[in-house]
Structure 1
Amino acid sequence: MPLPLFALFIAAFAFGTTEFVIAGVLPQVAEGLDVSVPTAGYLVSGYALGIAVGGPLLTLLTPGLSRKTLLIGLAVAFTIGQAACALAPDFASMLSLRVAVAVAHGTFFGVAMVVAVSLVREEQRGMAVALILSGLTVSNVIGVPVGTAIGNLWGWRATFWVMCIIGVASIAAMVALLPSKAGPARRPVGFAKEVRVLGRQQVWTSLILMLMLMIGQFGPFTYIAPLLQEVTGLDESWVPFVLLANGLGATIGVFLGGRLADWKLMPALISMLALQSAMLAVIYAVSPYPLAMIAAVVVWGGLNFAIGTPIQTRILTWTADASNLASSLIPAGFNVGIALAASLGAAVLGAGYGYRILPLIGASAMVVATAVALVSYAIERRDNDAPPLPAPAE
């Protein structure tokens, strides 16, 4: 893989860590800003909202800007934002800063995906997407635990100072490694065409698959700790190790999904969706048995991220002629899906059902996803559709 992809990986790792590490230091942040832990939780939901809404808007406002310049500018905004968070005097300013960084986050991943696939041959697109996505999985495996440990040792503000240093490293890497014409700004195609490409069935069905995948993943994962403790019977001290194993499985899954996307995208995607439905049913069945449950959670984590890669590759492939809006909807869609999954899980639990039912709800979502993918692929083959050519460069 080209070295520029590793520069994008470093930035993806930085953005992923700052999104998720807040959960690990949330009690300290709440105490330091003199608010309750539930109030501090808005730092998580506010970040997701910034990605989902602000990311697409900023992407639409910067279509003519050099992609390298834009990516470096987003990394600069990230770095300044981390320093500002470390110095935030109160909750309101901290929340505002988190939302601002989230806007840069949502824009970065949309643009980075487009740049990544432009740097490789067509048959390597899946692996290029996988490498950027691996920044998120590695951030969960390494960045979040280390950031949490730093916060526990030296205070939560130290966590954000370290994130600032990682931001500087990402800026240096992109300045040094990204070619000046990497993913050059395309000739503006107009807002109307940006919207029209979303009407292609390969695009909107992929967005449905994305939402179903998030329900299958974050419906159970949001409540994984009580599920493991109350249903599986694990001591709380084991939960971090299970999550670490899940993260390792996810990292392997990202690259497996990249390989399969470059091989036969839709047959591989349909097979993995069906397999994930079965895997969630297995989790329901083995949830009372610790060893089997741990093994199932690892495989489940791998499949979650293996599936995410071909979905994103498909969206980028079928919007190559007007990719700005569509690419920015990828991180936005994931975050909307996460919010829906968590809310659905809360509603189910509030209705009196136990944690064990959550994997079955996820399995149902994956059955829907498999059916949607099968119908979409059948229509594509029937109509003999071909992906569009990229928009001409300026």
Structure 2
Amino acid sequence: MLAALMLAAFTFNTAENLPIGLLDLVSDSLGVSLPAVGLLVTGYGVTVAVASLPLAHALRAVPRRHVLTGVLAALVVSSLGGAVAGSYWPLLGARLLTALAQALFWAVTGPVAVGLFAPEVRGRVVGALSVAGSLALVLGVPAGTWLGRQHGWPVPVACLAVPGLVCLVTIAALLPASRPEDEPAAYGGSPDVRRFTTVLAAGFLSATGAFAGYTYLVTFLNEVSGFAPGTAGALLAVFGAACLAGVSVTAALLDRFPHVALPTAVATQALGMLGLSAAGGRQAVAVLCLVLMGGALGPVFMTAQNAMLHWAPGRTDLALAANSGAYNAGIAAGAALGGLILPLAGARGTFLAGGLLTAGACVVLLVGGRGRRGVGADAEAR
């Protein structure tokens, strides 16, 4: 069952980011501008941000088996529909259907997955889902980009229906149709409204900061660091590999050090971004800071999700939906902020602003956590 959920996480994250490598192909094929095709990515993120909590709330009483099979059916239909779309608007509609499915998927998957295991290993379960999601950037998107350039962009879009169908059949056959409120991880282990809101705020700030710079990373590497344009692919692969490594290491340690995992990840992201802004003109330093930022980006979201399972003041699915919505809102806000800063202060300025926002997230976590017991203390008490 966990393997099926991991495969679903991989497939959804691949679907989300696949257009990034196919923008020019879609633009030429459908006869629309690159900015219009870019809406296939930004519109997706905005949809997830807006829809996560309302969808989770509306379907809070529906058995998780039915919800998951429904979202996977939507993934299959939207993948096939997008592949046969002969014009821009049907393709955009298929993308938005996938986004709605993903918004609900991340809300319900965490409680379902961790509920299959004992509480003392739940951090590793959250980590396993995050590793699968991170593999989409390292394997799924590059493979889909290659396939699209060999056989046309509809081919990798349609291929996403295959793992989606496998996951749908597996979950429909194996996951019990129990009431959501009766599941082992339906409610937070240590409900705490203050910590819950602190994590939400820190997640939004860190996502805004990260994507204020990351959106213009290639521009920074070319204009500030002086890398040749042909090296961008290799440097992005280094970033993706660092993200996967960071998630893997954090997943292995999350159950032992849950109370410091999120602040450590956010601080590492801030260090990498501020380092790029201050000394990114030196190529060796730029690569080091790129690794720090990449190694922290995935763990920030993963550790925030894990914190939600502990501190949710009510149902964990609603808490996870709120966290996903806040993070995706931060992604959209960061990309917009970076676009405003770029013509005024250049690519270096986008990373300075992003690093300062991420440092602000560190302050929020420190202030919000004062005088209260951490997750680790709660776990030890139990």
What is the TM-score when the length of structure 1 is the normalising length? 0.88
Cα contact 2:79–2:161 (8 A) shared by 1: yes
Write the mapping of 1:23-172 to structure 2, written as runs, cut at 5 A. 23-172=20-169
1:251 equivalent in alignment to 2:244: yes
Write the mapping of 1:377-388 to structure 2, written as runs, cut at 5 A. 377-381=369-373
Q: Which deviates more, 299-308 or 153-162?
A: 299-308
* 1:381 partner SS: coil
Write the mapping of 1:1-394 to structure 2, written as runs, cut at 5 A. 4-175=1-172, 178-180=174-176, 184-186=179-181, 200-319=193-312, 321-350=314-343, 352-381=344-373
Distance 1:42-1:366 versus aligned 2 partners, 3 A rule: closer
* 2:371 partner SS: helix
Query: Which residue identity lines up with residue 370 of structure 1 in the other structure?
Result: C
CA separation in 1, counterparts of 2:299 and 2:320? 19
Cα contact 2:13–2:136 (8 A) shared by 1: yes
Cα contact 2:270–2:293 (8 A) shared by 1: no
CA separation in 1, counterparts of 2:192 and 2:258? 20
Query: Which residue identity lines up with residue 364 of structure 1 in the other structure?
Result: L
CA separation in 2, counterparts of 1:201 and 1:139? 33
Query: Which residue identity lines up with residue 180 of structure 1 in the other structure?
Result: P
Structure 1 unaligned segments of length 5 or more: list them.
Answer: 189-193, 388-394
Cα contact 1:202–1:318 (8 A) shared by 2: yes
Query: Which residue identity lines up with residue 362 of structure 2 in the other structure?
Result: T
Deviations 1:259-286 (A, max 9, x none): 3431232233333433332332222233
Deviations 1:174-217 (A, max 9, x none): 345x4325x752169xxxxx9xx998111111011111221332
Aligned to 1:392: none
CA separation in 2, counterparts of 1:296 and 1:353? 20
Identical aligned pairs, as a percentage? 27
Superposition deviation, residue 320 in structure 1? 6.7
Query: Which residue identity lines up with residue 131 of structure 2 in the other structure?
Result: S
Superposition deviation, residue 87 in structure 1? 0.9
CA separation in 1, counterparts of 2:314 and 2:52? 20
Distance 1:113-1:320 versus aligned 2 partners, 3 A rule: farther
Deviations 1:317-352 (A, max 9, x none): 1127422322212222221110111111111113x2
Query: Which residue identity lines up with residue 14 of structure 1 in the other structure?
Result: T
Distance 1:279-1:48 versus aligned 2 partners, 3 A rule: closer
Structure 2 unaligned segments of length 5 or more: list them.
Answer: none
Distance 1:324-1:308 versus aligned 2 partners, 3 A rule: closer
Q: CA RMSD in A?
A: 2.4
CA separation in 1, counterparts of 2:228 and 2:75? 37
Q: Give the number of aligned pairs.
A: 373
Distance 1:254-1:320 versus aligned 2 partners, 3 A rule: farther
Superposition deviation, residue 292 in structure 1? 2.7
Distance 1:271-1:59 versus aligned 2 partners, 3 A rule: closer
Superposition deviation, residue 386 in structure 1? 6.0
CA separation in 2, counterparts of 1:377 and 1:149? 45
